[in-house]
Amino acid sequence: MPFDTPSDASLAPLWAPLAASTQPPARPARASLTPPIVSQDAQRSIMDLKEKPTRMLKLDSLKVACSSCNLRELCLPVGLSRSNLEKLDQMVASRRSVKRGEALFHAGDPFQSLYAVRTGFFKTRVSSEDGRDQVTGFQMAGELLGLDAISQDRHTCDAVALEDSQVCVIPYHRLEELSREFTELQSSFHKIMSREIVRDHGVMLLLGSMRAEERLAAFLLNLTQRLQARGFSPSALILRMTREEIGSYLGLKLETVSRTFSKFQEDGLLEVKQRQIRILNEDGLRRLVNNSTC
Amino acid sequence: MPFDTPSDASLAPLWAPLAASTQPPARPARASLTPPIVSQDAQRSIMDLKEKPTRMLKLDSLKVACSSCNLRELCLPVGLSRSNLEKLDQMVASRRSVKRGEALFHAGDPFQSLYAVRTGFFKTRVSSEDGRDQVTGFQMAGELLGLDAISQDRHTCDAVALEDSQVCVIPYHRLEELSREFTELQSSFHKIMSREIVRDHGVMLLLGSMRAEERLAAFLLNLTQRLQARGFSPSALILRMTREEIGSYLGLKLETVSRTFSKFQEDGLLEVKQRQIRILNEDGLRRLVNNSTC
DNA sequence: CGGTAAGTTGAAAAATCTCAATCACGGTGG
DNA sequence: CCACCGTGATTGAGATTTTTCAACTTACCG
C-alpha cells in the first residue's frame, strides 16, 4: 500500500523545519500515539457498531466523548488528566459533517463555536475586498478551526472541506466556562492559540524569505511530519488540495508549484503522480529548506 | 509640527485595509480615546511628579497601575469595568526599560511574562536554523509582546526595541489566575490572542498575494491607522525602522523598499525624507491596495 | 569633521508570472 | 464498456517583477 493517506491527521504542529532554532526537537514524534489512526470509513463503521445509529445523518447529533476519542492526544484534550478529560465530554456537544467543497463557516458568520477536525481535511482562506484570496492553512484531524473568530465575534475566514469531513463542535462559551474551572484546560487552550501564532510566524518566514523550491520543500516536510504524527507513512502521501491551493498558501502561482514538483522529480527528490507524492530523499528536501545559499 | 510621531501607539489593530471583507468597518476609530497620548518624555515627567522617583533606574521597579494608565483603552484592560480594572493593578507588577537596539527577550528564553508596550517601539523577529530572519511585526504602545511563548514555555522570537522603550511586565501565571476569576479579563485576553492570529493572516495575505507597491502601501496605511488610534496625525509619521527591517517584514529587499518609496514620491503619493514620511494622497495608497489589477 | 550606518539609484541577472497549448484523469451517459 | 467532457496538471516561451551587485549620497554620532 504505497500511498496510504487516509483522511486523518493532528494538531498545530508548527513549521518544525522552520521554527527550528526556536524550539526543541519538535516534540518526540509521538511514538506513543495509540494505534495508528484508522481511515474515515473505518471510523464510521466502528461508530456504527458502538452506537448503533440507523443512518449516517444521525451521526451528527450523537453525543461525543473526547475521553474515548483516539485523537485525544492530538486535539484540545492533550495533556488533560483522565478525570478532567471526562469533563470535556459535557462540553463537546455534537458533531457536524461537511461535504467536500462545502464550507464549515464563512467569513462574516457569527461566532458560536470552535471546531475540532475529527476526520477529513480543511483549508482556511482569507479574502480581501478586491477579491484576492489567500489560503492561510490546511487542517487535519485534531486541529482546531475558528480561533480567528474570537477577536470579533465573527469568523474572519472561510473554512472549506477538501474532502468529506467531520468536526466536533465546541461551543465557545462552554469552553470559556470550563477553562475557568479547570486550570489544565485553560492552559491547553492558551497553548493551542499560541501555537497557532507560532505557526503563522513560520508561514511568514516562509513567505517572506524563501524561494519557490524552499517553500514547497518546507510545505511537504510539514505535511508529512503532521501525517506521521497521525500514524501515516512519512514518505508517501496523497495531496488533498489542488496546485492552485498549494500555490495560494505558498504565495506562488499554480504553474510555479507544478514546475517545482517536476523539478523535484527530475532531481530525484520526489516521485510525483498528480496528487500522489512519494518522498525519495527527505534529507535532500531538508537541505533545500535549511541551506538557503548552497 | 509636521512630523509628530512620538514614541506611542496601540493594540493589535489588524490589517484593516486587508482583512477588509472579513470584518466590520474596523471598529469606529476609537474616537473616545482619552486625550491624545503624550510623548515618551512627557509621560516620564508625569511619572516623576506622581511617584517621586529619584532616578530613572528606579522607575523600572515602581508599582504600576493599569487603572490610571492612559493606554488602558488600547491595551489588555480594554473593556474591563472600573472595578475589575483595579484588580489588574495587582497583576502588573513592574516595568522594564529597554534601550534602543536591545532585546526585551530572545528566542529560546524561558517564558515568564507577557509584556505590554508602554512607550517606545519594538520589532519581533523569527530566525530559521540557517540564519534567515523575518520580522513578524512592529509593536507600539498598548500592544502585547510574548504571546508566542505560551505554546512552548519559551520565547520563539526576539523582541528588539527600535527606540528607548518601556514595557509593563505581566507575569503570565498571574494573568491565568486572574482570568479564571474574572470573565471579562479572560475574554479580553482571548480576544487579544485571536486578534494576533487575524493580524497574522492579514500579513500572510500581504506576503502571499501582493506585489511590492501594494505591500508598502498597505504597510503605511496600517501604521498610520494605528498611530491615529493613539492620537497622532494620520498623514505624517516618522519611521522607527530601517528600510531593511521594513523589507524583511514585507518580504522585499531593502533596495526594493527604497525604490518603491521613491516611486510613491514621484507619483505624488508621499513626501519622503529618509524616515520622515508625509502622506499626500491617502486615497491613492488605498486604491493601490484595493484595486489589484487596475 | 571624519567615519559609519542607512538610504538611493542604475544596470544586469534571476526568479516568477502570464499566456497558451497540451495532457491526464475521473466521472457520466450513451 | 467506452467515448466524451471538464477540471486539474504539465510544459513552453516570453514578459514582468524583484533581486543582485555596485557606486554613490546623506545623515548621524562621537
Maximum mean pLDDT: which of A24-38, A79-93, B254-268: B254-268
pLDDT band of B33, cuts 50, 70, 90: very low
Chain B: give the shortest CA distance to residue A52, in Å: 39
Q: Which nucleotide's C1' atom has the smallest distance to the CA of B254?
A: C7
Does residue B21 contact residue A128 with C-beta atoms inside 8 Å?
A: yes
pLDDT tens profile A221-266:
999 999 999 999 999 999 999 999 999 999 999 999 999 999 999 9
Q: Which nucleotide's C1' atom has the smallest distance to the CA of B262?
A: C8
Sequence-ordered list of residues with C-beta below 8 angstroms from that of A235, at least 6 positions apart, any chain: A224, A278, A279, A280, A282
Cα distances from B96 to residues A48, A251, B59, B113, B265, in angstroms, run 59, 39, 8, 12, 39
Q: Give the lowest-confidence range in A148-152, A267-271, B76-80.
A: B76-80
Q: Which residues of A touch B149 (CB under 8 A)?
A: 194
Considering only residues A48 and A75, tell me which one the structure prediction assigns the higher pLDDT: A75
pTM for this prediction: 0.84
Segment A7-15 shows an average pLDDT of 35
Q: Which residues of A touch B135 (CB under 8 A)?
A: 208
pLDDT tens profile A40-56:
333 333 333 333 333 44
**Phi, psi values for residue A183, rounded to 5°:** -50, -45
pLDDT band of A25, cuts 50, 70, 90: very low
pLDDT tens profile A118-165:
999 999 999 998 889 999 999 999 999 999 999 999 999 999 999 999
Q: Hey, is B264 helix, strand or coil? A: helix
Considering only residues B109 and B7, tell me which one the structure prediction assigns the higher pLDDT: B109
- Position B257 pLDDT exceeds 60: yes
Residue B23: predicted pLDDT: 35
Residue at minimal CA–C1' distance from D16? B211
Which amino acid is located at B104 in the chain? L
Segment B183-201 shows an average pLDDT of 97
The DSSP output letter for B252 is -
Residue A23: predicted pLDDT: 35
Residue A87: predicted pLDDT: 87
Length B164 CA → C2 C1' (Å): 27
Segment B190-219 shows an average pLDDT of 98
Residue A11: predicted pLDDT: 31
